[in-house]
Amino acid sequence: MKKPISVGISPRHIHLSKEDFHRLFGPDATLTRTRDLTQKGQFASEQFVTLATSVGRIENVRVLGPFRDASQVELSATDAVGLGLNPPVRDSGDHEGSPGITITGPSGRVDIPEGVILAQRHVHMTPKDAREYNVVDKEIVFMALSAPTPNSMRSAPRTVIFGDVLIRISENYRLDFHLDTDEANASGARTGDSSVLFKIGGAPLDDNRQYYPEKRLYSEFDVRKARQEGMIILIEKDTILTPSALDLGREKGLFEFR
């Protein structure tokens, strides 16, 4: 059995672009760190905003840092119902076709045309972890919550196995399984609980590994395609990689060295 993976619960929050932040908090405001999050470089700020639609509003939504290219609101399904929204379940940063919302801060208001999502449950890990668990970036796996611990509110008859869990790999990540508050409340999971990764069918993990067609030279295009299709690239002694292919494959843990 592979080592268990800790659970982290993400309450509703917002990531802001620099431009939106200054419209909401003023041109001289700075995004102030109050606490570091599990993932390297990510932090909870001291700033809060209000979210509103014609149907409802939610106050005191925490801004997370650092700034993003585009603002993004991550809600629970219950929050979305209260706002009359039907956001898609998405990986962070994927906003196409998602609903917009009105954001209000102490110095102004911003209407974002899109960017409200329900975060797809996911596991953060490093390329080294990925080798241990035998998974690739963007692969979909199952996560089972481990047996209840004394400080967990979960009782054995409500044990939950989550499907559609997205694997996210980066050198900057730390091993953690992220759920939103609805998922946590329904299953009784709490931050610090442990969980186990597995793939359907109960087959040995090695049997699920798929390899990208073998070539002598791989470009960044090949690495992106392998990543999209959840495949591993086999690297032999005489394999040639373009520099960008090497960087991307290393960062995402897509290489197996022979």
Q: Which is nearer to Zn ion, 33 or 158 (CB)?
A: 33
Of 131 and 174, the one with the shorter C-beta distance to Zn ion is 174
Question: Which residue type does 253 have?
Answer: G
Q: Which is nearer to Zn ion, 38 or 159 (CB)?
A: 38
Q: Are strands 101-105 and 122-125 parallel, antiparallel or unpaired?
A: unpaired
Where are the extended beta strands (E) located within 106-214? Answer: 108-112, 116-119, 122-125, 140-145, 161-169, 176-180, 194-198
Smallest distance from the beta carbon of 256 to Zn ion, in angstroms?
26
| Nearest Cα to Cα of residue 241 among 225, 221, 213, 258 | 221
Read off the tokens for 161: 């196995």
Closest CB to Zn ion among 10 and 152? Answer: 10
3-state secondary structure at position 27: coil
Which CB sits closer to Zn ion, 33 or 109?
33
- Least distance to Zn ion, CB of residue 211, Å: 28
Between 154 and 178, whose beta carbon lies closer to Zn ion? 178
The residues binding Zn ion (CB under 5 A) are: 178
User: In this structure, are strands 43-52 and 194-198 parallel, antiparallel, or unpaired?
Assistant: unpaired
Distance of closest approach, residue 197 Cβ to Zn ion, in angstroms? 15
Q: Is residue 203 within a helix (H) or strand (E), and if so which, with residue range?
A: none
Q: What is the largest CA-CA distance in the chain?
A: 61
Q: How far is the CB of 70 from Zn ion (least distance, A)?
A: 17
Report the nearest approach of Zn ion to the CB of residue 9 (Å).
10
- In the complex, minimum distance from the CB of residue 77 to Zn ion, in angstroms, rounded to a whole number: 17
At 236, the amino acid letter reads E
Alpha carbons 6 and 194: distance in angstroms, whole number: 4
User: Angle CA(51)–CA(56)–CA(61) in degrees, nearest 5?
Assistant: 25
Residue with smaller CB distance to Zn ion, 95 or 178: 178
Position with the least CB separation from Zn ion: 178
What phi-psi label fits residue 174: left (phi over 0), alpha (psi between -120 and 50 degrees) or beta? beta
CB of 141 to Zn ion, least distance (A): 15
Report the distance separating Cα 37 and Cα 206, nearest Å. 33
